[in-house]
Amino acid sequence: MDQATTLRKIVNLNKFEEGPQPKLSGRMRVIAITSGKGGVGKTNIVLNLCMALSSRNRRVLLLDADMGLANVDVLLGLTPKYTLEHVMNRQKDVRDIMLTGPAGFRILPSGSGISELSEMTYEQQMHLFQELSKIDDDLDYLFIDTGAGISSNVLRFNASANEILIIANPEPTSITDAYALMKLLAIKYHIRDFGLIANSVTSRADGQGVYDTLERVCSQFLKVNLNFLGWIPFDANFRRTVRQQKPLLELYPDSPAAKSISRIADLLDSHSVTQLPPQAAAGAEIGPEKASSFWDRLLHWKKM
């Protein structure tokens, strides 16, 4: 979505009375992964984070809440028989639709291309939360891959999480859309803290630049805190993992991007997104030979 479309949507959203949403409570940490703009790496990052935490013996569940373009199952080569659609229609219990992913983390698939479900009603979402709260005793983490955009569905999933992790890359539209999303969440749902992962960067400084730009506008105009969790380099191996339907951490564990994700997982495991110590941001050092050029990235983005 371009900035003009985003801004038009914001202007049209003139009801800002929603306030705090019911939170998914319990012992588990509920972390929403979100972005504003699509195609910035949310699904790839979240499933690798889930794998990393699961390898550390954490009990992890990934909720694929991208109803329109579900792809957690596709990226992992899984073919779900039942999906969230069956849960929302009250045909199945959440436990009946759970799949097991690499390193043993569990997945609630939404299935692909159920476009009529891209807008879940408030009641359906509450029903899903009720179902999820039944299993929270077994879990350390619930990650929610929210899908892109600023639909009320995406906003409500974010507002119901305890921690919100924004993914942005150095592309200007990714930055403006991330800002637009945080603005809505701050105004509509009074969210005050966000975490940021800068993805597809060419260097640590490139990632820091994404953070600095967003942090400046967040503190100046929104009065919200943005915490820098880390950076992930642009890595052509990601495209290969999509074809082989296995996570980067499994196929290329020594790549700088996989190392970055592992370090971010460690940081996440020791700190809440909202309470990161200053200078805590994690990621692998990116040597000049590993860094991809601006042109590589541009060609990659054009293909998306």
Ligand X SMILES: Nc1ncnc2c1ncn2[C@@H]1O[C@H](COP(=O)(O)OP(=O)(O)O)[C@@H](O)[C@H]1O
Q: Are 80 and 111 in contact (CB under 8 A)?
A: yes
Nearest to 241 by CA among 264, 257, 260: 257
Q: Check residue 40 for interaction with ligand X (CB under 6 A).
A: yes
Binding-site size for ligand X (CB under 6 A) equals 19
Q: Check residue 235 for interaction with ligand X (CB under 6 A).
A: yes
Choose the one of ligand X, Mg ion, none that binds residue 39, judging by a C-beta under 5 to 8 angstroms depending on kind. ligand X
DSSP state of 176: H
Applying CB under 6 A, among 1, 114, 126, 242 the residue interacting with ligand X is 242
In the complex with ligand X, the residue whose CB is nearer, 35 or 176, is 35
In the complex with ligand X, the residue whose CB is nearer, 135 or 232, is 232
In the complex with Mg ion, the residue whose CB is nearer, 42 or 263, is 42
Determine the Cα–Cα distance for residues 43 and 72; give it in Å rounded to an integer. 6
Applying CB under 6 A, among 21, 43, 174, 213 the residue interacting with ligand X is 43
Q: Are 174 and 37 in contact (CB under 8 A)?
A: yes
Structure tokens at 108: 């609630």
Q: Are 240 and 251 in contact (CB under 8 A)?
A: yes
In the complex with ligand X, the residue whose CB is nearer, 35 or 83, is 35
Q: Check residue 35 for interaction with ligand X (CB under 6 A).
A: yes
Minimum CB–partner distance for residue 32 and ligand X (Å): 13
Q: Check residue 31 for interaction with ligand X (CB under 6 A).
A: no
Q: Check residue 112 for interaction with ligand X (CB under 6 A).
A: no
Applying CB under 6 A, among 6, 21, 34, 44 the residue interacting with ligand X is 44
Q: Check residue 213 for interaction with Mg ion (CB under 5 A).
A: no
Determine the Cα–Cα distance for residues 264 and 249; give it in Å rounded to an integer. 13
Q: Are 60 and 53 in contact (CB under 8 A)?
A: yes
Helix (H, G, I), strand (E, B) or coil at 222: helix
Stretch that binds ligand X, among 10-18, 39-47, 119-127, 273-281 (CB under 6 A): 39-47
Stretch that binds ligand X, among 108-116, 127-135, 155-163, 227-235 (CB under 6 A): 227-235
Applying CB under 6 A, among 81, 90, 134, 239 the residue interacting with ligand X is 239
Minimum CB–partner distance for residue 240 and ligand X (Å): 9
Q: Which residues contact 260 (CB under 8 A, 6 or more apart)?
A: 230, 231, 232, 233, 282, 283, 284
DSSP state of 236: T
CA dihedral for 52, 54, 56, 59, sign (positive or negative): positive
- Main-chain phi, psi angles of 53, to 5 degrees: -70, -35
Minimum CB–partner distance for residue 122 and ligand X (Å): 24
Determine the Cα–Cα distance for residues 64 and 113; give it in Å rounded to an integer. 13
Q: Using H for helix, E for strand and C for coil, what is the string for 105-143?
A: CEEECCCCCCHHHCCCCHHHHHHHHHHHHCCHHHCCEEE
Within 11-50, the residues that bind Mg ion by CB under 5 A are 42-43
Minimum CB–partner distance for residue 41 and Mg ion (Å): 8
Q: Check residue 177 for interaction with ligand X (CB under 6 A).
A: no
Question: Measured at CB, which residue is nearest to ligand X?
Answer: 41
Minimum CB–partner distance for residue 34 and ligand X (Å): 9
User: Which chain residues interact with ligand X by CB under 6 A?
Assistant: 35, 38-44, 148, 199-200, 232, 234-235, 238-239, 242, 257, 304
User: Which chain residues interact with Mg ion by CB under 5 A?
Assistant: 42-43
